[in-house]
Amino acid sequence: MGVAFIVGAATAAATPSVALRGGATVTARVTGEKAGQTCRITGSDIDMPWRTVGSDGSVELDSGPVSSGRHSARVVCRDPRTGAASQHAVGKEEDVFTGHWAPAFEFLHHHRMEFLTPHEP
């Protein structure tokens, strides 16, 4: 009699997560996603190409130049073989800030003092 052990990949069972940040651009780090998937940041004034998730289940995203201010951003990922049919959100939509005052606005937003941050007219 023998005993068999089956070991699976930890990232395959993990729920993908994301950390969105503002600053000069909108950036995100996705972890726990399936290798080979493609991801990008979406939101107001954000138009970026899809980036491929690495074998470790992570990908770094950068929006590139965007207008200064508040952005409602989220990360979406999909299987490039099936396209839009497999598209899914990772995490939730978050307000992030870009521009010179982004660090101050991020601090106020994080500490639930949104009433002191700029809003769209």
Taking only the tens place, the pLDDT of each residue in 66-106 is 998 888 999 999 999 999 999 999 999 998 888 887 777 77
Average pLDDT over residues 105-111: 71
**CATH code of the domain made up of 15-116:** 2.60.40.10
What is the reported pLDDT for 101?
77
DSSP annotation of 16: P
- pLDDT score, position 3: 52
At residue 13 the predicted structure's pLDDT band, cuts being 50, 70 and 90, is very low
The residues near 40 (Cβ < 8 Å, ≥ 6 apart) are 48, 49, 50, 51, 61, 75, 76
What's the pLDDT score for residue 113? 62
The answer to whether the CB of 11 falls within 8 A of the CB of 54 is: no
Domain boundaries, the chain: 15-116
Mean pLDDT of the chain: 84
* Mean pLDDT, rounded, for 111-117: 59
Predicted TM-score (pTM) of the model is: 0.77
